[in-house]
């Protein structure tokens, strides 16, 4: 069953130098119990597209889409109150910086109970018990004592666990994790990713993982969507993507991984991601692409909207014999 | 024939911090008795989680702080705890920092940034000579000479990191201390900077002290590796030794926790429980014993010594065979 179905999502920001298109006609579909990873470099619009789904963008953003359905509800037509009933309950999000996402003025117990109070008809005592239960679920030792702790008294990994506990407090159907482990050490990262996958299996919760770390993608995701400069360039299952990347950008990105290199020099991608004012006319990747020709510079490539596996490239790399 | 450029003998660095207004002062053992050596033209990587003392080591080696005890010899000059180092020897070590946005003064032009080390340390040069050297350096790090009169905000992250490297190289140092030089950069830019570092090392016969938490980058760059945990070296050896034959349980856990960009790989993950203990009150005996899955009574009481076997040294009572 399709849980989240977004078609042709575009986000533009009003800036003093004119509109800036941060997300350019992106399609996202997430099935129940799915693990989708959205990969891309900074400025690829991966966070902005998910913030648009959550309705968390500032007023300077203009969000347009053909379709934005979550669990059968059209997200575009909702007013603020109706949206609040969904966001934080059926659909929730955790952010990159656990330290700055929690309110430093309130105890973590208060912040957890606040999330429960907003969405569930529980009594005071039930909320407290549920908060302890949640902290235990995310692996915080001595959860009853921790309820009165402030965020600054906990480490980064512990704060991220609290964020996760808060996000799963109302048993969401969809959890969006925006770089959940980037600020954490590898041994803590392994614990957090394990926890997210466990929740995905046990609670029947779909997971959207926004990341730039290919290692994290390979180990957690089932499907991967690759974005470049606000556009989705390709989407494949994780095994297929790592074995046979079809867009030249994905191919170059994977080749640039130090662990895949054989020589002392890495095959690097020249140049940088285009910014607001230096967008190329044709394919956005064409100035950095080693396969680009005249057609790539002139014509914008489009992916076939009906075929989710199609690639946004004039000359997709051939699938290998396997 | 290679000679030892850097030889550290039992250096440590303790900090005294006050706990509260009337509290007793406590000692943070940021770096405890560390010895290692580094040959000219090689790369020594220091890995470990945050709080393990790798940045303190960088500060001591780059003579920002004197060692608390012990001494180290750099290029024939010995630096001791109580003797301030001469400015000559200081200029043979330079630092490159993690954040290319924070490490360049936004009010200085690239010309000022690059010439400042020469103004201070080489007063015999006139302005024209300084400019010539700075322009040469810009080309060496892969920037164009017309970038000379621009400000840092006109550059992307990767280009800024090139400028930071150029600044570090202006005094022709022998040792470059790289404190997480690529962890703030995007994947496609990361490979460009790593390639630049490899090229510069060949061209200028530089020696690198490479601090990183990204093991795939370390594997690509390092000749030798120092694994640190809570201010102590737990294992050291050649890159081959550490990656193919890790002996210390912490090294094994660190390697297994690092995500590998290969979805077909069978995962055999050692889950570490808990987090890094506070360096204010390190556990007795082996610092790793509360998180170690093979810890015995001996580990809680005795601190293990570093046992050397050829190039490979490990500090554990029960070193593992893999």
User: Is the CB of residue B46 less than 8 Å from the CB of residue B228?
Assistant: yes
- Whether A134 shows a pLDDT value over 70: the answer reads yes
The predicted model gives B128-148 an average pLDDT of 92
Q: What is the mean pLDDT of chain A?
A: 89
- Whether B108 shows a pLDDT value over 90: the answer reads yes
The predicted model gives B111-138 an average pLDDT of 93
Q: What pLDDT score was predicted for residue B99?
A: 87
CB contact under 8 A, B188 and A269: yes
Count of A–B CB contacts within 8 Å? 119
Q: What is the pLDDT of residues B188-215, one digit of tens each?
A: 889 999 999 999 999 999 999 999 888 8
Q: What is the pLDDT of residues A261-280, one digit of tens each?
A: 778 888 888 888 887 788 88
Q: What pLDDT score was predicted for residue B236?
A: 94
Here the tokens at position A235 are 């989407």
Q: What pLDDT score was predicted for residue A307?
A: 73
Q: What pLDDT score was predicted for residue A113?
A: 94
Q: What is the pLDDT of residues B271-310, one digit of tens each?
A: 787 777 877 788 888 989 998 988 899 999 888 988 888 8
- Whether B137 shows a pLDDT value over 90: the answer reads yes
Confidence of residue B322 (pLDDT cuts 50, 70, 90): low
Please report, for residues A28, A40, A67, A68, A90, the alpha-carbon distance to residue A4 in angstroms, rounded to integers and kept in the order given.
7, 20, 10, 8, 11
The predicted model gives B50-58 an average pLDDT of 86
Lowest-pLDDT range, A22-36, A234-248, B82-96, B194-208?
B82-96
- Whether A174 shows a pLDDT value over 90: the answer reads yes
Which chain B residues touch A if contact means CB-CB below 8 Å? 49-50, 156, 158-159, 186-192, 194-195, 198-199, 213, 215-217, 219-221, 253-254, 256-265, 267, 269, 271-272, 274-276
Q: What pLDDT score was predicted for residue A322?
A: 37
Q: Which residues of A touch B259 (CB under 8 A)?
A: 186, 189-190, 193, 213, 215-216, 218-219
pLDDT above 90 as % of chain B? 49
Residue of B98, B142, B188 for testing the chain A interface, max A β-carbons within 10 Å: B188
CB contact under 8 A, B261 and A155: no
The predicted model gives A127-143 an average pLDDT of 90
Q: What pLDDT score was predicted for residue B205?
A: 92
CB contact under 8 A, B261 and A186: no
Q: What pLDDT score was predicted for residue B1?
A: 44
Whole-prediction pTM:
0.88
Residue of A185, A211, A228, A278 for testing the chain B interface, max B β-carbons within 10 Å: A185
Confidence of residue B169 (pLDDT cuts 50, 70, 90): very high
- Whether A321 shows a pLDDT value over 90: the answer reads no
Q: What pLDDT score was predicted for residue A277?
A: 80
Q: What pLDDT score was predicted for residue A105?
A: 95
CB contact under 8 A, B199 and A239: no
pLDDT above 70 as % of chain A? 98
Q: Which residues of B touch A268 (CB under 8 A)?
A: 188, 191-192, 195
3-state secondary structure chain B: CCCEEEEEEEEEEEEEEECCCCCCEEEEEEEEEEEEEEECCCEEEEECCCCCCHHHHHHHHCCCCCCCEEEEEECCEEEECCCCCCHHHHCCEEEECCCCCCCCCCCCCHHHHHHHHHHHHCCCCCHHHHHHHHHHHHHHCCCCHHHHHCCHHHCCHHHHHHHHHHHHHCCCCCEEEEECCCCCCCHHHHHHHHHHHHHHHHHHCCEEEEECCCHHHHHHHCCEEEEEECCEEEEEEEHHHHHHCCCCHHHHHHHHHCCCCCCCCCCCCCCCCCCCCCCCCCCCCCCCHHHCCCCCHHHHHCCCCCEEECCEEECCCCCCCC
Q: What pLDDT score was predicted for residue A218?
A: 92
Residue of A99, A221, A257, A271 for testing the chain B interface, max B β-carbons within 10 Å: A257
- Whether B245 shows a pLDDT value over 60: the answer reads yes
Question: Of A35-44, B261-270, B278-287, where does the model show the most confidence?
Answer: A35-44
Q: What is the pLDDT of residues B94-105, one digit of tens each?
A: 999 888 888 999
Lowest-pLDDT range, A166-175, A257-266, A288-297, B210-219?
A257-266
Confidence of residue A319 (pLDDT cuts 50, 70, 90): low
CB contact under 8 A, B257 and A215: no
The predicted model gives B34-46 an average pLDDT of 92
- Whether A129 shows a pLDDT value over 90: the answer reads yes
CB contact under 8 A, B261 and A269: no
Q: ipTM of this model?
A: 0.82
């Amino acid at each position: 069953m399709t849980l989240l179905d977004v078609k042709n999502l575009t986000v533009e920001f009003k800036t003093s130098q004119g509109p800036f298109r941060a997300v350019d006609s992106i399609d996202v579909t997430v099935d129940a119990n799915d693990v989708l990873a959205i990969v891309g470099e900074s400025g690829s619009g991966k966070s902005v597209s998910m913030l648009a789904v959550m309705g968390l963008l500032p007023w300077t953003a203009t969000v347009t889409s053909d379709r934005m359905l979550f669990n059968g509800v059209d997200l575009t037509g909702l007013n603020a109150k109706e949206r609040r009933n969904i966001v934080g309950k059926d659909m929730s999000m955790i952010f990159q910086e656990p330290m700055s996402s929690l309110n430093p003025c309130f105890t973590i117990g208060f912040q957890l109970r606040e999330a429960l109070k907003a969405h569930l008809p529980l009594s005071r005592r039930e909320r407290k018990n549920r908060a302890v239960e949640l902290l235990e679920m995310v692996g915080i030792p001595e959860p009853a004592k921790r309820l009165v702790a402030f965020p600054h008294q906990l480490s980064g990994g512990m704060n991220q666990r609290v964020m996760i506990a808060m996000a799963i407090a109302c048993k969401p159907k969809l959890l969006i994790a925006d770089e959940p482990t980037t600020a954490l050490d590898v041994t803590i990262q392994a614990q957090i990713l394990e926890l997210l996958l466990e929740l995905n299996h046990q609670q029947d919760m779909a997971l959207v993982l926004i990341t730039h770390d290919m290692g994290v993608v390979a180990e957690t995701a089932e499907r991967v969507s690759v974005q470049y400069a606000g556009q989705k360039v390709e989407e494949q299952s994780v095994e297929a993507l790592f074995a046979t990347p079809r867009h030249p950008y994905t191919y170059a990105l994977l080749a640039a991984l130090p662990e895949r290199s054989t020589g002392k020099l890495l095959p690097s991608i020249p140049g940088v991601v285009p910014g607001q004012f230096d967008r190329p006319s044709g394919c956005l990747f064409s100035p950095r692409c080693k396969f680009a020709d005249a057609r790539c510079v002139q014509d914008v490539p489009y992916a076939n909207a009906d075929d989710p596996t199609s690639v946004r490239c004039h000359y997709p790399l051939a699938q290998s014999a396997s | 024939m290679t000679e030892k450029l850097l030889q550290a003998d039992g250096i440590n660095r303790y900090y005294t911090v006050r706990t509260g207004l009337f509290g007793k002062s406590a000692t943070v053992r940021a770096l405890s008795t560390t010895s290692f050596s580094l040959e000219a033209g090689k790369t020594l990587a220091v890995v470990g989680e945050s709080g393990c003392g790798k940045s303190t080591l960088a500060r001591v080696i780059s003579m920002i702080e004197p060692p608390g005890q012990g001494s180290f010899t750099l290029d024939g000059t010995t630096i001791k705890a109580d003797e301030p180092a001469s400015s000559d020897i200081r200029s043979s070590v330079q630092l490159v920092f993690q954040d290319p946005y924070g490490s360049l003064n936004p009010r200085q032009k690239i010309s000022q940034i690059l010439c400042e080390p020469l103004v201070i340390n080489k007063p015999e040069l006139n302005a024209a000579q300084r400019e010539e050297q700075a322009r040469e350096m810009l080309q060496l790090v892969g920037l164009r000479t017309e970038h000379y009169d621009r400000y840092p905000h006109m550059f992307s992250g990767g280009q800024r990191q090139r400028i930071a490297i150029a600044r570090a190289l202006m005094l022709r140092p022998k040792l470059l201390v790289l404190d997480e030089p690529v962890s703030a950069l995007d994947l496609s830019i990361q490979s460009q900077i790593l390639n630049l570092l490899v090229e510069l090392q060949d061209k200028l016969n530089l020696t690198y002290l490479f601090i990183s938490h990204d093991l795939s980058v370390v594997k690509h760059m390092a000749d030798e590796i120092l694994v640190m945990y809570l201010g102590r070296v737990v294992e050291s050896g050649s890159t081959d030794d550490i990656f193919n034959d890790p002996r210390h349980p912490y090294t094994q856990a660190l390697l297994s926790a690092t995500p590998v960009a290969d979805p077909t790989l069978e995962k055999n993950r050692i889950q570490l429980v808990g987090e890094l203990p506070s360096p204010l009150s390190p556990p007795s005996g082996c610092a790793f014993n509360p998180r170690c899955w093979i810890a015995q009574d001996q580990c809680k009481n005795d601190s293990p010594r570093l046992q050397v076997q050829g190039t490979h040294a490990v500090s554990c009572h029960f070193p593992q065979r893999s």
